[in-house]
Structure 1
Amino acid sequence: MQLEVNQIYHGFTLLEEKEIKELNGIGRLFHHEKSGAQLYHIENEDDNKVFSISFRTPPQDSTGVPHILEHSVLCGSRKFPTKEPFVELAKGSLNTFLNAMTFPDKTMYPIASKNDKDFLNLMDVYLDAVLYPNIYKKPEILKQEGWHYEIEDPQDEITYKGVVYNEMKGAFSSPESVLFRKVQEALFPDSPYGVESGGDPEVIPELTQEQFLAFHKNYYHPSNSYIYLYGNGDIVKHLQFINEEYLKDFDKIQVDSEIPLQKPFEQPKELTIDYPISRGEREEDKTFLSLSFVVGNSTDAELYLAFEILNYLLLQSNSAPLKRALIDAQLGKEVIGSYDGSILQPIFNIVIKNSNESMKEKFKQVVFETLEKLVKEGIDKKLIEAAININEFHLREAEEAGYPKGLMYGIEIMDSWLYGKKPSMHLEYEENLNKIKKALQNDYFEKIIEKYLLNNAHSALLVVKPKKGLLEEKEREVQKKLVKYKAQLSKEEIEQLINETKKLREMQTTPDSKENLNSIPLLSLEDIDTEPEELPLIETKERDIDLLIHPLFTNSIAYVHMYFDLSSIPENLLPYASLLSQVLGKIDTEQYSYEDLSNEINIHTGGIQYGLQAFGENGTDDQYYPKFIVNSKALVDKIPKLHSLINEMVTKTKFEEDKRLKEIIQETVSRLERRILSQGHAVVANRLYSYFSPIGNYLERLQGIDYYQFLCGLESDFEGKKSEIKENLAKVAQLIFNKNQLLISLTTDEKDVENFTKHLPTLINNLSNKENKAVQYSFALSPKNEGFMTSSEIQYVGKGYNFKKLGYSYHGSLQVLKTIVSLDYLWNTIRVRGGAYGAFFNIGRDGNMFLGSYRDPNLIESLQAYDGTAEYLKNFSTDEREMRKYIIGTVSRLDTPLTNAMKGEVATARYIRHIFHEDIRKEREEVLGTTDQDIRDAFKLVGDVMKENYLCVLGNENKISANKEVFKELVDLFK
C-alpha cells in the first residue's frame, strides 16, 4: 500500500516509512494529532494480523495496581457492559491470540486474528476496555480482581480474597520469583523497578479504590499510549476506525510517566533473603546465589543484542565457560543465566541453584576469576562463533511457540519505543549483528565483560536461603493482622463488610442480561471455513526407512525429526530412556568433547534436541506408540553436517564420565523442581492420568513425579549406582537407535528434499539393524488420590477419569462442551468466585477427561465445584446466538495457527495416531452442528466421571493436611 510521509490519514500523520528487510515488510510511524497517540505499523504478507495498545505504567509501590488494572479494565466497558468481555471474546471469536500483560513499566493489551471482521471486533472491544472501563461504576471489580475482605457471618474470621492476590501468592511461592523480584528491588531502590508491578501479596491489601482509579486516570490516556498494528490488513481502514470510534474524542495532554534512570552504585550491594520450605524438606543444598549487574540502556541496540549473545556464550550452552567453571567448583546443581532487556536499564543475572549460604564468597570468587581469565586470555573464537550463529538462526527464524510472530515483534519494539527511541531499533538487527561478528577477529566481548561486569559497581549479590516455618509465620502474621482489624471494627462496620461480600457475590452470580451479552460483536457461522486445513504429507521410503515429507516454504531451513520406536524398552529401564534424552549432546562422543560438540551444533545447525512422547491410538488410551524423538533444524546447505552430528550423538556417545553424568542428573532434578512449582496444573494432570490410563501411566514414568523421584534416587546414591546408570544408558541407546524402529519426518521446500535424501546415509549408518521384540507392559492402575505437599501458598487441584471406560463415546460436540465448561462454569466458579488464577477442562478423543485449577486458594471447594459440573450441564440452556458464540470459540481453538515447521510436526503426530483428515473433518462438522441439547446430554457422562472420584492435589502442606480425609496418601514432595 502506498502512503506518503507527512500526509495525514484520518487524524494520523505519517512521520516515517521505511523497509525493514529483516521482517520482509514496511515499518511506519504515525502520530495522532488530536489525542497525542503514537502508532506503529508493520505491513507484510502475514495474514495473522496483530493489534495492541500499550501504556507506560510505572508503579509507585508494590500494591500491584498496574497488574490489577490489567485484569480489571477487561471486566466491562461503556459499549460492552458485560461482566467480562474478555471471556466472551475467548468463548466466541476467531482470535489467534487474546490476552493482556503487565511488565515492570508497561501494560500491553494484544489481540490477533486472521479474520478481518473478527480483527476489527477484537480491536473495538479492547480499545473500549482500556479507555472506558466500568471500574468507575463498579467498585466490586477491584474487589474481585484485586483484593477484598471476605466475611459472610459476624462470627466468621475475615479473610483476604482476590484473583491477583492469589495469583501473586502462587508466583511468590517459587524461590526463583522471590529471587528475581528482590534483584530488581536491590538494583533500583530509587526507580519504579524497585517495587513489584505485579503486586506483593503482603502489600496488595493496602491498595484503595481511590488509588486504583487515580492510576487509570493518570496513565490510560491516548497521549501515553503506544498502538501497534501488524500484518496484511488495510491500514487506512484501521486508522479510520481507531480515529472515528475512539481517538477523535480525546485531546492531547501531558502525562508524566517517564522512567527515571537509577543512579549507578558506588559500591556493590549484598542482600540475604529467606524463602519458605515445607516441614519435610531439608535446608541443605536449597540456597540460591546470584550476582546481577545493570548493563547500559535497552536503547543501545548494539549492546542489547551483544548481551543476548554474551548471555548464551557465558551461561547457556553446554560449552559456556562461566557455567562450566561454576559447575566444576561444585557450588550448586544448576546454573541459570538471564538477560532482561525489556526494561530501560537491563539486568544480567548469574544464578546458582541448590547451593548453600557458605558458598557465597567462593561463588563471587569463581565468577570474577573466570571473567578476568576470559578477558586476559581471550575467549575461544569457536565459542563466540557458535553463540553468534545460534542467535542469528533464531533471529531469522523469528518463531515462538504459542505466540504469533507479529506479537513477538510488537513486544520487542517496546524495548526502545517506550523510552523515546525508534520502534524499529531492535527489529533492524542486521547492521549491529555484523558489528558484533567482528568479535571473531578482535576482543569485542572481552571489552564488554571488562566494562559491564568486572568494572561495574552497579551490581548486587543475593543469597536467597530456605527457612522452615516461614510460611506458617507469614500466615500467622496475616491472620493476626486480620483479627486485629476485625477487633477494631464496630458492629455496623462488620455488617458493612458482610454486605459488601454479599454484593460482590451477587454481582458474580447474576448472569449478564441478554442485551449486555448481545453488545459483544459476533461473527456468523458463514464466516467460518467448514473445511479444516489439510496438512501436506507424502509417505515414502528411502533406503528402507519410512519417510514423511511435508513440502512447505521454510526459508531454506530443513526441519528433520527422527521418531524411534520405544516398544522394546523393558519396564524397569523406561526412566533411563528419558534420562538418555537429557544426556545426549551434553556428554562426550568418540569424535568430540561435549564442549566441542556444543560449538559444532551451534555453528552448523539451529539446534538438536531430544525428547520422548507417547502417541495414543485414535480413539483409545489403551494403545499407544511410544517414541524417542530427535528434533533438529538447519539451513539446507548444512544438512550433511546436521546428519553427521546426529549420527555421532546417537551411535557414538560415551557414557563414561561419572562427574558429567552426575552434573546432568542434578541439573535435571533442579529443572523438574522448577517445573513442578511453576506448572503444577500440568504435573497434577499427568499424575492423575497415571491412576487410570495406560498411556498416562507410561508418560508419568518418563516425565512426571515418578521420574522426578527416580532421578532423586540416582542423585542421592550416585556413587553406589553410577555403574548401573552407565550400563543402563548404553543398553537403552542400543535398543532405541535402530533402523527398523525409525520413522523420519522432513519439513522443507520441495526443491530441497533431494538434498536431504542424498545425504540420508550419513544420518542412518551405524544404526543397529537388530530385530528387537516389543515388550508388553502391565501397569497397576488404581485411584491413588494423592496429596503432594509443598511450601506453596496455593493449590493445583485435579479430578478426572476416562469416559470411554464407562461406556461413552467421543463426539465433536465434546469440544464445545470443553469451551463452555472452561470459560463459563469453571471460570465463574473457580476463578471469579473462588479466587483461583485459572481453571481448565480437558477432554480428548482417547476418552481422558480432566478438570483442574491453577494457583487456587481452595481445595475442597474446587473439588465440590467439579462435582457440580454435571448439575450445571443438566440445566444448561441458551439461545442460538450464545450457542453460536461457543461454537465459534471452539473452532478458533481447533484452528490455532501453525508455523510451517509446526504443521509438519502435527501432520506426523496424526499419522502415527492414525487420525485422518476425514476424522478432523467429521469432528469439525460435529462441532459446527452442536446444539444446547448435546451439551445437556453430556451431564451424565461428566457426572459418571466425577463419581469415579479419581483426584490429585499439589499444594500447601497445611491445607492438604487439614483435608487429609480426601486423600489416600499424603506425600512430602521435596525432601
Structure 2
Amino acid sequence: MSPDEKFEEKRKEEETTRLQKMVEKLTEEDKEQIYKKGQTLLQQQMDKEDLSCLPTLHINEIDRKIIPEKTATVTSGKVPVQLCVQPTNGITYLNMMSNMSDVPADLKPYVPLFCDVITKMGAGSMDYKELSQQIELTTSGLGAGTHVNQHHSDNYSYEQGVEFSSYCLDRNVDKMLDLWTNIFCSPNLKDEGRLMTLVMMEAANLSSSISGQGHSYAMTHCSSRMNAAAQLKEVLGGMAQVSTMKTLAETDESAVVTIVEKLQKIGQFLLNKNNIRFAINSTSEQMSSNQSKVEKFIEGIPGDIKSTEKYTQHGYFEPELVKTQFELPFSVNYMSKAVETVPYTHEDFPKLRVLSRMMSAKYLHREIREKGGAYGSGAVCGSGVFSFYSYRDPNSSKTLQVFDEAVKWVVDDKFVAEDVDEAKLSVFQQTDKPITPGSAGMTLFLSGITDEMRQTMRDRLFQVSKQDIINVTNKYLTGDRPAAVSFIGPENSTVKTDDTWKVIKG
C-alpha cells in the first residue's frame, strides 16, 4: 500500500464541488436568511456577556500562602539524594537524573530512541521478554525520558539529562533496584531485530502524534529560535526528532549496526554515576531502609563521581526572526509564534503569565476559535519564551494577524480590571491543583524551584495590576523584538509566493 500523493488536492476539489451544488439549490430568500443569521451570530460573539448572575470566586478568597513541599537532600557516596516523606500508602517512588551535558552533539538526536528502548531490550541474563515479565511482576514499569529545563533565573543556562523513574510496593524495592542495576551495568542493545521493531513503532507513533499535537510541535520549533534550551528540546522532541526517527525507520538492515553502536556510546555516558542525582518519595517508616538500598545501588553501578554540576552554561544566544512551514497533507493548520522574554524568577514573569491567560480567554478564543473556526487557541508563558498557538485551524495568515491584533488589544487598553482578576484565578487554578504523593518535591528536583521562589511568585501574582499587563506587553511583545513563526499544514499559496518563508516538506 502507498498513499495517494494527490489525496489533499482531490479532497479539496470534491469539497468545492459539493459546496457549489448546495449553493446552487439555495433561493435568494435562503441566502438572505443565512446572511442575517451570520450577522446575528457575529453580533452575539462581540457582545459582552453579563456574568453577574453566576457564582464567582474572588481573588481575595485565594490563600496567599503556598503549600510547602518539605524535602531534605543528603549525599550517598557523594551522590545527591533528595528525600521527601509522603503518605504513599506502602509505595516507594524513585527518580534518577543522569546529566547528559557530556554526550556529543552528534549523538543527542539518538538519546530519545535510547530512552525508548533501554528498558525494552533485555538486560543482564534476561532477554526482552524476561525483563518485561520481571518489570510487570515487581514494579509499575521502568521509564526513561529526556529532560531539558531552563534555569529558573538565567536564560543562558539550562539542565539537560535523562530521567529514569519507577515505583513499586515497599516490599519490592530490592527487586526494582536489581532491575535497574542490570540495565545500568549490562544492557543488551545488540538484538538488531528487536531494535528495528522498536524503531519502527516509535517512528510510527511520532508521525501519528502530529495530527493530535501539531500545535505543540509548532510551538517547540519556533521556540527553538529563542534560546539554547528550547533549541535542544526541538532536537530531542520536536519536528527534528520526528524527521530523525523517520530516517532511522527507513534505514536498511546493513546500517542497523551503526545505530546499535551509537546507542551503546550513549549508554557509556548516561548509565553511570559520573553525574547523577536521586529523589525518593516514601513513608517515614520506609525512608531509612530505602536510603540504604539506594546507597547500595549507587555503589554497584559503574563510574566515578566527576561532577554534581546540574546546569550547562551556553553564553549569549541570539534570537532569530525565522518563518517556517512544515508542509504536510493535513486539511487544517497548527500555528505558532514565539518571542523571547524572561526566566521564572524575574519580576515580570508573573505579569506575562497573567497576560497569557487573559489573552487566551478574552481575545484569542473569541477571534480564532469562535470566529475563525479553529478547534483551539491560546497564549503560553514559559520560562524565557512567550508563545501564541492555534490548533486545527482552517486559517493561517489570518491567524498570524490575530496574534498581532491581540497585542494591540492589550496595548490599546481594551480590557478591564475584572479580566485581569479572572486571569489570575486561572493561573492559581493551575498552580494550586492537588499533587500526588509521588509528585511531591518534583518541582524542586526537576526545575530547581524552591518553596521560597514559589511563594515569591505567588506574592507577585497577587500584585499584578491592569497597568502592569499593558507595560509588559509594550516591553516584550511590541517593537522590533525578534519573533519566530512556525506552522504545520497543507500547501499554502501565500507562503509559496513569499521568499521570507522556509518550507520543509514532510
Q: Same fold (TM over 0.5)?
A: yes
Aligned partners of 1:734 and 1:875: how far apart in 2? 56
Cα deviation, residue 781, structure 1: 6.3
1:476 maps to 2:476? no
1:801 match: secondary structure: strand
How far the C-alpha of 1:682 sits from its partner, in A, is 0.8
1:909 corresponds to 2:442: no
CA gap 1:681/1:585 in 2 versus in 1, 3 angstroms: same
Kindly provide the amino acid, as one letter, of the partner of residue 663 in structure 1. T
Contact 2:82 2:445 in 1 (8 A): yes
Alignment of 1:725-736 (within 5 A): 725-736=259-270
- Counterpart of 1:590 in structure 2 is 124
User: Residue 227 of structure 2 contacts residue 318 of structure 2 at CA under 8 Å; is this kept in 1?
Assistant: no
Q: Which residue of 1 aligns with 2:503?
A: 970
Aligned to 2:237: 703
2:338 aligned with 1:800, yes or no? yes
Decide which of 753, 760, 766 is 2:301's aligned counterpart. Answer: 766
- What is the rounded CA distance, in whole Å, between the counterparts of 1:769 and 1:580 in structure 2? 22
- Say if 1:777 and 1:579 are closer, same or farther in 2 by CA, change over 3 A: farther
- Per-residue CA deviations over 1:304-343 (Å, capped at 9, x if unaligned) read xxxxxxxxxxxxxxxxxxxxxxxxxxxxxxxxxxxxxxxx
The alignment status of 1:575 with 2:109, answered yes or no, reads yes
Amino acid at match of 2:439: M
1:489 aligns with 2:23: no
1:564 aligned partner, one-letter code: S
Report the 3-state secondary structure (helix = DSSP H, G, I; strand = E; otherwise coil) of the residue aligned with 1:708: helix
**Contact 2:226 / 2:319 at 8 angstroms: preserved in 1?**
yes
Q: CA deviation at 1:732?
A: 1.3
SS at match of 2:394: coil
Name the CA distance, whole Å, in 1 between partners of 2:336 and 2:479: 13
| Structure 1 counterpart of 2:169 | 635
User: Alpha-carbon deviation of 1:564?
Assistant: 0.6
Contact 1:584–1:649 at 8 Å: present in 2 too? yes
Do residues 818 (structure 1) and 352 (structure 2) align? no
Offset of 1:649 from its aligned partner? 0.9
| 2:74 partner letter | T
Give yes or no for contact 1:536–1:907 (8 Å, CA) kept in 2.
Answer: no
User: Structure 1: 5+ residue runs without aligned partners?
Assistant: 1-282, 285-465
Q: Compute the displacement of 1:524 (Å).
A: 2.8
The secondary structure found in structure 1 opposite 2:400 is helix
> 2:428 aligned with 1:891, yes or no?
yes
Corresponding position of 1:829: 367
- Offset at residue 473 of structure 1 (A): 2.4
Per the TM alignment, residue 720 of structure 1 is displaced from its structure 2 partner at its CA by 4.0
C-alpha distance after superposition, 1:763-791 (max 9, x if no partner): 22132127489987798964442211222
User: How has the CA–CA distance of structure 1 residues 925 and 654 changed in structure 2, closer, same or farther, with 3 Å as cutoff?
Assistant: same
CA–CA distance in structure 2, aligned partners of residues 775 and 726 of structure 1: 27
CA distance in 1 between partners of 2:10 and 2:465 (Å) = 52
Amino acid at match of 1:885: E
Q: Structure 1 residue 945: deviation in Å?
A: 7.4
* Deviation at residue 880 of structure 1 after TM alignment: 5.0
SS of 2:230's equivalent?
A: helix
CA deviation profile, 1:436-480 (whole Å, cap 9, x unmatched): xxxxxxxxxxxxxxxxxxxxxxxxxxxxxx433333323222211
Asked if the contact 2:184/2:271 (under 8 Å) is kept, the reply is: yes
Separation (CA, whole Å) in 1 of partners of 2:296 and 2:83? 18
Secondary structure at the residue paired with 2:487? strand
Verify the 8 A CA contact 1:601 1:645 in the aligned structure 2. Answer: yes
- Tell me if the contact between 1:570 and 1:775 (Cα under 8 Å) persists in the aligned partners: no
1:713 aligns with 2:251: no
Secondary structure of the residue aligned to 1:692 is coil
> Structure 2: which 5+ runs fail to align?
none
Query: Does the CA contact (< 8 Å) of 1:785 and 1:952 recur in 2?
Result: yes
| Per-residue deviation, 1:882 | 4.4
One-letter amino acid of the structure 2 residue matched with residue 964 of structure 1: K
Amino acid at match of 2:502: E
**What number of residue pairs does the alignment pair up?**
499
Contact kept? 2:141, 2:166, Cα under 8 Å: yes
In the TM superposition, 1:507-546 aligns within 5 A as 507-512=44-49, 516-546=50-80
Query: Retained in 2: the 8 A contact 1:621–1:848?
Result: no
Residues 59-116 of structure 1: CA deviation (Å, up to 9, x unaligned): xxxxxxxxxxxxxxxxxxxxxxxxxxxxxxxxxxxxxxxxxxxxxxxxxxxxxxxxxx
SS in 1 for 2:378: strand
One-letter code aligned to 2:427: T
Cα displacement (A) at 1:511: 2.0
1:838 and 2:367 correspond = no
Describe the shift of the 1:953–1:965 C-alpha distance in structure 2 as closer, same or farther (beyond 3 A): farther
Contact 2:424–2:462 (Cα < 8 Å) also in 1 = yes
Encode CA deviations 1:242-299: one digit per residue, 9 max, x unaligned.
xxxxxxxxxxxxxxxxxxxxxxxxxxxxxxxxxxxxxxxxx54xxxxxxxxxxxxxxx
1-structure distance, mates of 2:212, 2:415: 37
What's the counterpart of residue 143 of structure 2? 609
Q: Larger radius of gyration, structure 1 or 2?
A: 1
- Residue aligning to 1:785: 323
Inter-CA distance 631–624: structure 2 relative to 1 (3 Å threshold): same
Contact 2:159 2:312 in 1 (8 A): no
Shift of 1:576: 2.3
Q: Distance in 1 between matches of 2:194 and 2:314?
A: 32
Deviation at 1:721, TM superposition (A): 2.6
Superposed CA deviations along residues 692-740 of structure 1, whole A, max 9, x for unmatched, are 2210111111111112222222222243432322222111111112223
CA distance in 2, matches of 1:737, 1:718: 28
Alignment partner for residue 406 of structure 2, among 869, 881, 885? 869
1:925 correspondence with 2:459: yes
CA contact (8 A) 1:794 1:858 kept: yes
Q: Is the 8 A contact 1:873 1:938 kept in 2?
A: no
Is 1:556 matched up with 2:93?
A: no
Mapped partners of 2:479, 2:417: distance in 1? 29
* 1:277-676 mapped onto 2 (5 Å cutoff): 284=2, 466-512=3-49, 516-676=50-210
Alpha-carbon separation, structure 1, partners of 2:142 and 2:278: 15
| Cα drift, residue 857 of structure 1 | 0.9
Give the whole-Å Cα distance in 1 for the aligned partners of 2:294 and 2:57. 49
Partner AA of 2:465 in structure 1:
T
Change (3 A) 1:871 1:775: closer
1:836 is aligned with what amino acid? A
Give 3-state SS (helix, strand or coil) of 2:395's partner.
Answer: coil
Deviates more, 1:758-767 or 1:960-969: 960-969
* Whole-angstrom distance in 2 between the partners of 1:870 and 1:747: 44
Contact 2:226–2:385 under 8 Å retained in 1: no
In structure 2, give the amino acid aligned to 1:539: T
Q: For 2:466 and 2:289, locate their aligned partners in 1 and report how far apart those are by CA, in whole Å.
A: 53
SS of equivalent residue, structure 2 residue 439: helix
Partners of 2:156 and 2:314 within 8 A in 1:
no
Note the aligned Cα RMSD (angstroms).
2.4
Q: CA deviation at 1:611?
A: 0.4
Residue 285 of structure 2 corresponds to residue 747 of structure 1: no
CA distance in 2 between counterparts of 1:811 and 1:655 reads 44
Residue 104 of structure 1: aligned partner: none
Structure 1 residue aligned with 2:291: 757
Partner amino acid for 2:68?
A: E
Counterpart position of 1:451: none
Matched to 1:800, the amino acid is A
CA contact (8 A) 1:785 1:969 kept: yes
Answer whether contact 2:373 2:393 (CA < 8 A) is retained.
Answer: yes
State the TM-score, normalized to the length of structure 2: 0.92
Asked if structure 2 preserves the Cα contact closer than 8 Å seen for 1:563 and 1:742, the reply is: yes
